[in-house]
């Protein structure tokens, strides 16, 4: 029986937290936590890493359940993301032991290629439009733009103008045949989101993400359901939901949204995301997982995409690069070095499903150390309204 020799937290520029799990026979598996709450998440990864030393790599569910349920306090984003990283690293090891990609151990693949999209970068409508043109030049067939700044609780037409102009500029740049998603990032209240969806409709959004801030309450679910049924644009949410139970509330007995967006680095890992996808399939809802961090998270998301019939499209931030920033206003990605030996590539808006064992990526650890001067976890973003009051970011 193969056991864990060590599980260590690895900082990776620009701000990613990886979990490196090594077995007693020298094999290495990788996981990735969320790239925020750095101080808290790093300490959690270190603590969990110490506790799982000597554990079997085979009993993945038992190991995760033990780490979650043998403490009085069981939940929260810090613990959830640390356990998600551990779970995907254990699946990486199991796949390598059996010489198979993880999706083969989850029932096999349901598709050969996965459609992908990425976010655009800009500060003005012109810069967002330029970033969209750059994406088109890279074979993308779908992009997402986040046009909302600090938005009043009850919004006027004038307050909506800036976001409308951004989306219109991007639509004009890419034409009618490329899919354009809009991420409102929970920056709007339900009242403001109703007006925003109506104002953005002429640009034919592929979907609108987080039109209002998710708080998990019955009133939030009622607001989303009403927004979904009142107009034809697909509504997406889920990147801040952390459990299968929370997704069940959004899917059963009738769907609240059209697209759910679990984050494999938050919901419990690969198997949890596949199980959430199964619920989505039953509810006739699509799945488009959240993936704004590094290529280890993307590799794990690709295993979910390969095994999940509900999967619609996959967000990515990095297909293999690291360091530096990640995106320049008006442009595309700007990574300083390759983190994985063979970065994923896009052809016709799709990425091929990995066929190598485990996650299907080889992390170049030596490159991380070479570029640690680029480690720069940014402080939390703090927005205010014109009157100085707090604004949602």
Catalytic residues: 185, 290
Specify whether the backbone of 43 is left (phi greater than 0), alpha (psi in -120 to 50) or beta: alpha
Largest CA distance in the chain: 65
Asked if 32 contacts 17 with a C-beta cutoff of 8 angstroms, the reply is: yes
Cα–Cα distance between 267 and 219 in angstroms, integer? 23
Pairing state of beta strands 16-23 and 259-260?
unpaired
**374-386: b or e for each residue (b if 16 or more CB lie within 10 Å)?**
beebeeeeeeeee
Cα–Cα distance between 31 and 41 in angstroms, integer? 13
Cα–Cα distance between 208 and 184 in angstroms, integer? 7
Cα–Cα distance between 380 and 393 in angstroms, integer? 9
Cα–Cα distance between 48 and 355 in angstroms, integer? 30
Look up residue 340 and give its two tokens: 């994985």
Contacts of 147 (CB under 8 A, 6+ apart): 128, 162, 163, 164, 166, 167, 182, 184
Q: Name which of 38, 131, 7 is nearest 377 in CA terms.
A: 38
Residue located via tokens 């299907």: 360
Q: Evaluate the CA torsion angle 98, 102, 105, 108 in order and state its sign.
A: negative
The DSSP secondary-structure symbol of 203 reads: G
- Alpha helices (H) in the chain, listed in sequence order: 38-51, 60-69, 77-98, 102-105, 125-137, 157-174, 190-200, 218-230, 244-251, 270-282, 295-307, 365-370
Look up residue 264 and give its two tokens: 């494999």
| Inter-helix orientation angle 244-251/218-230, to 10° | 40
For residue 385, give Cα distances in angstroms to 149, 159, 191, 196. Answer: 10, 12, 17, 18
The DSSP secondary-structure symbol of 236 reads: E
């Amino acid at each position: 029986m193969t056991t864990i020799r060590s599980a260590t937290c690895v900082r990776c520029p620009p701000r990613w937290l990886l979990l490196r799990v090594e077995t007693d026979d020298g094999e290495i598996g990788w996981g990735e936590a969320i790239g925020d709450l750095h101080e808290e998440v790093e300490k959690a990864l270190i603590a969990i890493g110490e506790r799982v030393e000597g554990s079997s790599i085979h009993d993945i569910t038992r190991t995760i359940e033990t780490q979650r349920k043998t403490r009085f306090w069981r939940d929260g984003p810090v613990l959830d993301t640390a356990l998600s990283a551990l779970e995907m690293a254990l699946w990486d090891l199991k796949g390598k032991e059996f010489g198979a990609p993880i999706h083969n151990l989850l029932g096999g693949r349901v598709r050969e290629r996965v459609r992908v999209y990425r976010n655009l970068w800009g500060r003005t409508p012109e810069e967002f439009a330029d970033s969209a043109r750059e994406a088109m030049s890279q074979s993308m067939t779908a992009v997402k733009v986040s046009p909302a700044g600090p938005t009043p609780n009850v919004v006027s037409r004038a307050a909506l103008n800036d976001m409308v102009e951004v989306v219109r500029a991007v639509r004009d740049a890419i034409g009618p045949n490329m899919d354009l998603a809009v991420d409102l990032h929970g920056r709007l209240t339900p009242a403001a989101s109703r007006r925003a969806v109506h104002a953005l409709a002429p640009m034919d959004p592929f979907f609108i993400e987080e039109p209002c801030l998710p708080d998990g309450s019955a009133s939030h679910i009622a607001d989303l359901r009403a927004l979904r049924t009142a107009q034809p644009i697909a509504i997406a949410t889920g990147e801040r939901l952390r459990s299968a139970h929370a997704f069940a509330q959004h899917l059963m007995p009738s769907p609240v949204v059209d697209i759910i967006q679990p984050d494999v680095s938050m919901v419990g890992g690969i198997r949890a995301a596949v199980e959430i996808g199964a619920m989505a399939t039953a509810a006739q809802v699509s799945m488009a997982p959240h993936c704004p961090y590094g290529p280890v998270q993307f590799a794990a998301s690709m295993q979910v995409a390969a095994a999940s019939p509900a999967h619609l499209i996959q967000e990515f931030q990095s297909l293999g690069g690291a360091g530096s920033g990640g995106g320049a206003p008006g442009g595309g990605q700007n990574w300083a070095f390759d983190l994985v030996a063979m970065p994923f590539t896009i052809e016709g808006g799709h990425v091929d499903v990995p066929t190598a064992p485990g996650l299907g990526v080889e992390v170049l650890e030596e490159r991380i150390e070479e570029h640690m001067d680029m480690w720069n976890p940014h402080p939390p973003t703090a927005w205010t309204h014109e009157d100085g009051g707090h604004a949602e970011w």
